Amino acid sequence: MKPGSTRAACTALIKRDLILIWRRRGDAINPILFALIVVALFPLALGPEPEQLRHIATGVVFVAVLLAGLLALDTLFRSDYEDGSLEQLVLSPHPLSLLLGCKIAVHWFTTALPLLIAAPLLGELLHMDGPVRWVLTGALFLATPLLSLIGAVCVALTVGMRRSGMLLALLVLPLYVPVLIFGAGACNAAALGLPYLAPLLWLGAALVLALVLAPLACAAALRISLS
């Protein structure tokens, strides 16, 4: 790998972000603990009846994962903005969209992937049927990177603002609604024994589109925020 190349820059950025996350590994655990607490509260509030919990399990797990991802979203560029390294990325001769794509990938790997692994356990807590849990895992595998890509664009727009948490939530949540509808719809269809492939295909198509467009939009939004 040639020093100074784009590949070397991406590799160095990924290693740097992983090291920083490892040093703050307590913060990386917060989303999964938050999702676990949210899911555990529903049986306490609604009662332990398995049939009632099974009926709401899909929506509860998706909303818990969505809110847990939103909890960690503000940290995507915040530390880089505060220490000035974000401006160095913008001034770098390498494609900014590619570098930001690497940062988004690391963010998904360290925040959403643990939630994805824990999703079957969360479903088990709500008495979700075994086949539905596999559909839930597949839907989250498509939905969580899509949520990270959409959220990254909104974070880039608000990174230069102080106390932007509420504004970020107002920007992100309406964009998350279609992902929630298709993901939960696939699981609900599987629970009823209906075809569930179509919502998953819509999520896959949206993910492919976001993989291409979101880093470009994120780079443009970041330039606007830092100008």
Question: In angstroms, rounded to a whole number, what is the distance separating the alpha carbons of residues 75 and 203?
Answer: 25
Rounded to 10 degrees, the C-alpha dihedral 133/135/137/140 comes to -130
For 115, other C-beta atoms within 10 Å of its C-beta total 23
Statement: the pTM of the whole predicted model exceeds 0.95: no
Backbone angles phi, psi at 198, to 5 degrees: -60, -50
Q: Where are the domains of the chain?
A: 6-226
Tens of each residue's pLDDT in the chain, 227 residues? 555 677 888 888 888 888 888 877 777 788 888 888 888 888 888 877 888 888 888 888 888 888 888 887 877 877 777 777 778 887 888 888 888 888 899 888 888 888 888 888 888 888 887 788 888 888 999 999 999 999 888 888 888 776 666 777 788 888 888 998 898 888 888 888 888 899 999 999 999 999 999 999 988 888 887 77
